[in-house]
Amino acid sequence: MMEIVLIVTAVILSLAAAGAIIRIAIGPSLLDRVLASDVLLAIIGATLCIDMAVNRHLNNLMLLVALSIIGFIGSVTVARFVADRREQPHES
Amino acid sequence: MNPEVSGVDTVIDTVSAVFMVVGALMSLGAAVGLLRFPDLMSRMHAATKPQVLGLFLLLASVGLQLGTWWVWPVLLVAWIFQLLTVPVSAHMVGRAGYRTKHLHKELLTTDELEAVVQKAADKRDADDDETSGPA
pLDDT of amino acid A30? 86
Q: Looking at the 3D structure of chain B, how many domains does it have?
A: 1
Question: How many angstroms away from the CA of B26 is the closest CA of chain A?
Answer: 9
Report in angstroms the alpha-carbon separations of B92 from B4, B7, B34, B86, B131: 52, 48, 18, 10, 32
Query: Minimal CA–CA distance to B60: which of A46, A11, A13?
Result: A46
- What φ, ψ does residue B70 adopt, rounded to 5°? -80, -10
ipTM: 0.83
Domain assignment of residue B26, yes or no:
yes
pLDDT of amino acid B105? 73
Contact (CB<8Å) B102/A13? no
Interface of B with A in 75-134 (CB under 8 A): 75, 77-79, 81-82, 85-86, 88-89, 92-93, 95-97, 99-102, 128
Report in angstroms the alpha-carbon separations of A87 from A56, A84, B5, B95, B122: 55, 8, 68, 19, 21
Query: Minimal CA–CA distance to B16: which of A14, A47, A2, A85?
Result: A2
Burial (CB count <10 Å: 0-12, 13-18, 19+), residue B39: middle
- Whether the CB-CB separation of B91 and B41 falls below 8 Å is answered with no
Domain containing residue B73: 3-130
pLDDT of amino acid A21? 94
Q: Is B71 on the interface with A (CB under 8 A)?
A: yes
- Whether the CB-CB separation of B82 and B51 falls below 8 Å is answered with yes
Q: Per-residue confidence of chain A (92 residues) as pLDDT tens digits?
A: 788 999 999 999 999 999 999 999 987 888 889 999 999 999 999 999 999 999 988 888 899 999 888 888 988 888 888 766 655 555 44
Residues on chain B touching A50 (C-beta within 8 angstroms): 20, 24, 58, 61
- Whether the CB-CB separation of B77 and B55 falls below 8 Å is answered with no
pLDDT of amino acid A11? 94
Residues of chain B with pLDDT below 50 are: 1
Domain assignment of residue B135, yes or no:
no
Domain assignment of residue B49, yes or no:
yes
Distance from C-alpha of B81 to C-alpha of A66, rounded to nearest angstrom: 9
pLDDT of amino acid A78? 87
pTM across the whole model: 0.83
Domain assignment of residue B119, yes or no:
yes
pLDDT of amino acid B5? 62
Three-class SS state of A59: coil
Q: Is B60 on the interface with A (CB under 8 A)?
A: no
